[in-house]
A and B are shown apart, each in its own frame.
Chain A
Amino acid sequence: EVQLLESGGGLLQPGGSLRLSCAASGFTFSTYAMSWVRQAPGKGLEWVSTISVSGDKTYYADSVKGRFTISRDTSKNTLYLQMNRLRAEDTALYYCAKTQLGYCSGGYCYSDLLDYWGQGTLVTVSS
């Protein structure tokens, strides 16, 4: 059974830093891309970042680029999100998700599949 367990959330002041973790089990972590998606209270889903299988390619939403860093440790089956210079608008429930990257083939393009999600960890940025 695939399990994703996020941790590391909390309450902190604007400008602060935080590192989220996502412990993965039940699948071969080293063969899947991984993503972070967040959801502000009462709002919709917002993609944050994706990391490739090998970790050599990373992608970020414009809203977090330059402040957040995604990484992975295959030896620990763990995904991370280092969040710096946090803002009030970063307040959200942060989900990690097992990801099958989108691709194009035969004239068609297929979107990323986030096929398993954790239950999320809450980050609150407030003074």
Chain B
Amino acid sequence: SSELTQDPAVSVALGQTVTITCQGDSLRSYYASWYQQKPGQAPVLIIHGKNNRPSGIPDRFSGSSSRNTASLTITGAQAEDETDYYCSSRDSSGDHVLFGGGTKLTVL
């Protein structure tokens, strides 16, 4: 398969923990990268590799993977976390980059 599948929308209560998932065959081989995109702005890399955060990304963001699923977890979601999240991976051939369809996170 050459697709990454994300739930279109997820919600979480303020201060609670939420997990956004990404499924795809390529994730059996590749660690995913995760991007956050706020309205009208360019995407920002927030998680890469096994569970690495670029400088400046809060530690409430973490990543994990199991079999064909990559997960982004936000521990103690904040109002400013309400936005779109995208996973990304190489495809199984290694020659193409895939993005998931994106998950819109609502913080209640």
Contact = CB atoms under 8 A, between A and B. Distances in A.
B54 A102 contact: no
Contacts of B33: 111-114
Contact count band on A: 20 to 34
Interface in A99-124: 102, 104, 108-115, 117-120
A80 interface: no
Contacts of A62: 96
A27 interface: no
A45 interface: yes
A108 B52 CA distance: 15
Interface residues of B, number: 30
B107 interface: no
Contacts of B31: 108-111
Contact of A112 (B37, B43, B90, B102): B90
Given A35-B97, A47-B97, A113 B42 contact: no
A114 B35 contact: yes
B99 A120 contact: no
A68 interface: no
Contacts of A95: 42-43
Nearest to B49: A110
Nearest to B2: A62
30 contacts: A35-B97, A37-B43, A37-B99, A44-B84, A45-B35, A45-B43, A45-B88, A45-B99, A45-B102, A47-B88, A47-B98, A59-B95, A95-B42, A95-B43, A102-B30, A102-B90, A108-B50, A109-B31, A110-B30, A110-B48, A111-B30, A111-B31, A111-B32, A112-B97, A113-B33, A114-B33, A114-B35, A115-B45, A117-B42, A118-B42
Interface of A: 35, 37, 44-47, 50, 59, 61-62, 95, 102, 104, 108-115, 117-120
Given A44-B84, A46-B99, A110-B49, 13 more contacts: A37-B43, A44-B99, A44-B100, A45-B43, A47-B96, A59-B95, A104-B29, A109-B31, A110-B48, A111-B33, A111-B97, A112-B88, A115-B45
Interface of B: 29-33, 35, 37, 41-45, 48-50, 54, 84, 86, 88-90, 94-102
